[in-house]
Amino acid sequence: MFFDNLADIKKLAEKVSCAIFVIPNDAKIPIKNARIVEKDKTTISIEQIRTLISETRTKQKSPRFIIIKQAEQMTLEACNAFLKSLEEPNENYHFILQTENLSSIIPTILSRAEVFILRIENPLDKTAEVADEVKNLAKKMIIAKDKDYIAIMNEIAKKKDNTRELALQVLGSAIEMSYKSYFKTGNQLFLKKIPNLVTTYENIAANGNIKLHLVADML
């Protein structure tokens, strides 16, 4: 969803428990008394997220906003620790993840958040730096019909070295492309692809069978 003014962030965030706002990193979100989490030197660590989680266990009678600036700087361990809070947030807590580049947010976080894009920034023109092979396979994946997934799986599996890494890169790019295609066209078919893509990504990342999940999870 696009929005046009930073002043709209509060009312948009109040409607959901977790929202990703694609806005400049130096933009100041106009919400008073929000809890701010920022990177410590180069990353947002698991210790910072654990501290945040402990703070959000208390009950709130009125809305409480937590802003994570440069959310893509969360380490993988921090992201994983954060997932349960996103899945089962306590009442009246609203998490705001601020980023300049949607493609830098890992799929497990994307699948648990609403995405809002500041129209003037046009972040849909930004693409992750991946090889042409990855882009081409990702494009095939987001327009594929059920019968096509075996052929795509075979293309990925024929690479003997770093097959898992390639599969994850393709799936990550396909998720990003699906979001961008939906925002550009409004076609719900792109949005409907995302849950299966995320499930496939998560299962392969957890050392699941690559061939099995590239087909079974996508059908």
- Model pLDDT, residue 58: 86
Length of the chain counted residue by residue:
219
pLDDT band at 125 (very low <50, low <70, confident <90, very high): low
pLDDT band at 128 (very low <50, low <70, confident <90, very high): low
Pick 97 or 132 by higher pLDDT.
97
Percent of the chain topping pLDDT 90: 35
- Give the C-alpha distances (Å, rounded to integers) separating 118 from 94, 101, 173: 19, 12, 21
Torsion from C-alpha of 213, 173, 146, 1, nearest 10 degrees = 120
Mean pLDDT of 110-133: 72
Q: In 3D, which of 43, 91, 33 has the Cα closest to residue 67?
A: 33
pLDDT in tens, 28-54: 999 999 999 999 889 999 999 999 999
- Model pLDDT, residue 76: 92
In angstroms, the CA 23 to CA 21 distance is: 6
- 106 near 61, Cβ under 8 Å? no
Question: Which residues on neighbouring strands pair with residue 40, listed in sequence order?
Answer: 43
Tokens 């992750």 belong to which residue? 128
Query: Quick count: other Cβ atoms within 10 Å of Cβ 80?
Result: 15
pLDDT in tens, 101-110: 887 888 889 8
